[in-house]
Structure 1
Amino acid sequence: MMCKGVAVMRRRSDSWLNATQILKVAGFDKPQRTRVLEREVQKGEHEKVQGGYGKYQGTWIPLERGLSLAKQYNCDHILKPIIEFQPAAKSPPLAPKHLAAGAAPKPARRAPPPESASAVNTRSSRKQVADVVAPVVEQEPLSPQASEDGTMTPSPSESSSSSRTPSPIHSPQPSHVSLATDTLSTASGRRKTRPAASTPVDVAMSGDELPSKANGIEDRRPYGDQMLEYFISDSNDVPPLLLRPPPDYDPNMAIDDDGHTPLHWACAMGRIRIVKTLLSLGADIFKVNKSGQTALMRSVMFANNYDVRKFPELYELLHRSTLNIDNYNRTLFHHIVDVAMSKGKVHASRYYMETVLGRLSEYPRELADIINFQDEDGETALTMAARCRSKRLVKILIDHGADPKIVNNDGKSTEDYILEDERFRSSPAPPSRTQSMSFRNTHPAYHTPHPPLNSLAGTNGSLPLHYSVAAQRASTRCTNDMAIMLDSLAASFDQELHDKERDMAQAHALLTNIQQEILDSQRTVTNLKVQADKLPTAKQKLHDMKDELHARMGMRYRLGWEKWLKEEETREKDIRDAAAPSQAEDISDLLLLHEDIPTDEGALHQACESLRRELSQYKKRRIELFDELVNFQAEADTSERMTDYRRLIGIGCNKPPGEVDSVLGLLLEASALL
């Protein structure tokens, strides 16, 4: 049924509905559909279909769950006809065109007029590229795959997931198939899956129409067509166009509809010789395609560089573009982790990540700026690694400064995804729908009869494990491969154990040094505490000595003040008796002072107030000077060196040390005359 331009289908065998099509009718775009499928749909009973025609692909769910999903997003009234549809008991008859297909032979096609060799080559090249690009079908995103190191548990919906980019070495297809089916993607490489297009690629690489200069005929096709046809061919040699580039050749031109340059293709396919040749011709490593992806980003989106083990050498050539981001705010680390979401690509992702982080560890500031960068969905490389359940990638990123507390647009952080995985692993796994159907449909009457055991016995009387020769060969080959893999795993375990023991020895040495420093610090603190306990007693003693010195000097100067005051009162008394001429000279200053005393009562009062203020200021100043004198005297008397100075001066002057202060003025006057 067509609904809002979407072909909505209901499966005849079990009446299941396509959840992807329901969400399309509800108006969700691709990222929103992905999040709804991961959060709500794929947690229950479902079946993922990939491959084949695009309208049959997606996530299929039971009719009741599909009805609840349609009601949840207010589109059940639109889908009511297909939900309430009651199919007939018999299948509908075949269309008339199918019945008459074998009776009416097709008329023979008229032979086309001959064309020139260059026109044939150009049209053939464009047809081949079109055939490669044609089978592009957008599918639902793959469920996060389990890590191949055995540290994570895959979800139940992952059994039907397929690899997005088949490896050119571990796949029966040629090395260029993975790039031919993926590299020409118009998307950013985010959650796009392309079906294997073996037939068009095989036609494109048949070898009869490859570019060449056969019979001395010069290739006059556009440079972009020549480079594109070279990359989808089997040739590993440097093309003549790069060995002898014409003057008008631009190494940064786009050679396909997605804006990929020859450098993008060479990096994605792991052709290190072509990369070096293009760079020598002036290729720009910062040149991006229509999705904003650099050649370095394209190189980590496929497993080709992992298969040939040339990525460290390639990264040294392209590392200056590490900090670039694409049109979706994705960094190089996002694309590396995105590879791990494809089945069989976890080792390639770890290989790329360890190479890049090992190189960027020399630049911690730049690494801190890029490793926690969020894309338009709020995802960091660490949250993506946690979502695809790869503990090794998570550990590598955290060891290099990735923040596990950053949340994405769904409000989930790395810690949340790890906790969800732990809960999933601790819960019992429900039986799969395929197994339940197989048990339900099994009947003893339909069992295939097994051959008798004596017919399976070998020539030596032993019982073989498999009946067919092909199965026995496959079993032997798998056993050998498994033995090799186990040996490799054991070697990796030994190496990791050796590294851990070395780290433990270093940690023990560091712990011993820290404990010794702690003991030294404790001894120092104990000594300081002992000295600090004596400090209050010393402060109190100093305070008492200052008080005693202040009292003694106060008494000394008070007696002098009282003596001077009596003398002045005596002189004041003598002012009244000024008849004697001999006394007039002695009290002349007092007479002058009395002459300045006003006779008016108001003026006298003002003079008294002025004298009181001056007297108060002089008293305050005298107290300050007295305190300074006490301090100076305390420093002078309590210093052992001052005592030594007095003893030394006394020896030079033939005076006892106690009389040095009395003759100090005379000594200073005598030294001034010298």
Structure 2
Amino acid sequence: MEVNGVAVMRRRSDSWLNATQILKVAGVVKARRTKTLEKEVASGEHEKVQGGYGKYQGTWVSYQRGVELCRRYHVEDLLRPLLEYDMGQDGVSQAGHGATDTPTKEQAMAAQRKRLYYGMDSQNSSSQGTFFQSISRTAASAVSAINKARFDSPASRGPDSRQPSAIRRSSQMSSQESHVPLGSQKSMYSVASDSGFASNLQPSQRSLVDHGEETQEPPRKRMRSSSSVQMRSFNALNEPTPTEPSESFYRPLEAQEDATDDYTHGLKPLAAATTPERYQKMKLIMTLFLDKRAKDFSTHPAFLTLTSEDLEIPLDEYLNSALHWAAMLARLPLVHALVAKGVSIYRLNAAGETALQKAVGTRNNLDYRTFSKLLQVLAATIEIIDHHGRTVLHHIAMMAATGGDGHVAAKHYLECLLEFIVRHGGPSNSQQSSANGASSLRNPQRTEVIGLGRFMSDMINIQDDQGDTALNLAGRARTILVPQLLEVGASPHIPNHTGLRPADYGVGVDMVSSGGQGLQNGDADDSFSTQLARTKQDILSSALAQITSAIEQSFNMVDKDLSDDLSKKQEEFDQWHAKIRESAKLRQIEQNELDELKKTSRERIELQRQTRNLEQSADELAATLKEMEDAEPSDNPVGDDPRQTPLFDLDGFNTLFPETFDASTGFSDEQRAYLSEQPSVEKLQAFLGAYEEHNQSIGEEIEILKSKNVVLGEQYRRMVMACTGWSAEQVDAAAEGLMECVKDLNQDPVPEEVALEILMQDRGQDW
């Protein structure tokens, strides 16, 4: 069975129900649905079907637990056809427990006549939607006749045939004359309707209630009598049916001109409390709401000391009275007590809203199932329009648009309202018309409840100050109120002040364009649900095509823009890349120059170091020679400087003794004089011995230094290995560069930070 677009199943073998689908029908969001299944359903006996089963997956529970779940989430009436469907073989026993014995001939013929009877009953009542069938076949027939008259009218052929006007708005709201008496509340509901709108039975099931016991064979002659009884009980539909949607169903416009403006717009709110006395009264009234379980208010100080006008003092900044609060909080005993005390149900708040309009803005009346009884008290205010031009239908549509559980409450309120109008709308024989004026407004027992015909013709398409009808608000939010609003005559072609119509959202296109002909031709197979599903599919396909085209155009434009931007960015990137390459080349050149300068600087430092070393060696050698000269003063002439006077004149020797000289020929005088000037052999031997001794001492000192350097070098090697994590071979490979850098830093001291930078940068390759 499909309900609200959700397929709900009951297993044939054991009658188990899918709890997941039940929660979907109840409108429970996915997050809350998962928590509910885990906490409430999974705690008992259940079966989970997951993956690969399509619509069969979900959490399955037993039949009894499924029924309890339906009752808890107020969907038992919607799923009643599925819950009461008999899957037994004999059609009489309980589901899943059908008798296996072969039925007798009499039983088979009785079952055949029963199926034939209920099949004909279902066909006769299937010409209209499912909503009014659940109330009565008479209501469905009446709505069918009204829609037929509307579609037969020449003025209603076009999509704009139901344009509401100021005349309709003023006339349809000025014809209240009587109200349902409180004493008749107990007899207003039939056996099949429990609470709210709990009468959603199939025609075959309702026939069981009308005709007696379920197992009894339906008599063939009872069909006409049952229908006539229901026709007599439905007084509101005995009036003539109009041919134009804008005409009144019960009396002409001239008869409605007697009603006053207050009759349409209600009574203005009283002034807010400004004096201490009124503040005390307001506080006393607020004590009425302290105990929500209170039933009897006859002994309450507020009812004993305050008048009916005092009880209408506003209680908040929105000028809501005690009746507004009681209606919003679903305090039905307090509502009855206030009305019995004389509090006017027509008293408005600052926004011009009645207590009934405020009541549909909360879900309290759904939770306590009190809205149907609240309508019996406040039904006379159904037609009142607030300061924004909104009726109670607008407020119900806005409640459905709030999301969450709001649409469940709004659906319940709309169903209760329509059922109440069907059952109790129109003139009543037991009620008398009252005189015009404010006194009549204070007597809710004498006002007339709007009938179904006038409700469909004059009230369903009223526009607010933004031009929105109730269907426009419901269709814009894609709520579940759309089918019922369409069924009672809401037009999907009335635009608001911005030019948007419900049909623009895909609401009710086939209902208006082809629904009339379908009703005329008696096409029962093409029901409203089928038309709505087909319309949704067509509109969805068209919308998807338009959206796809728009998306493609948008993507093409975006692609073109991105391509242009990418080209510009690529050009900028190429320019910057060329600049970067040029900068890199210049940097490389400058880096090479810097390296050359650093190399030159290092060479200069090295030359300075070598120069200082040579000067130091020369000074040491001069000191050594001076010590030697001081040790042999007789061998040196006074004032002679051994560093300036050479011991042997090689040039003179080569001149006097060329290579061709022959000593056998003798020496000349010059040669003899030169030889006599040279040092003696003893002196030369002394010089030689001194130099050898000096060289030996230097060699010994070098060996001592080398032995010391081995120990110190090993310590330095370990320190470098510990600091750098290198091996001994890596330290030895980098030791030469490190020593050169350290020598340079010792000879040319620099700050510690600069020294570390030099060690890390200039000698980095050695490290």
The bucket for the TM-score relative to the shorter chain is: 0.3 to 0.5
Which structure has the larger Rg?
2
TM-score by length of 2: 0.30
TM-score by length of 1: 0.33
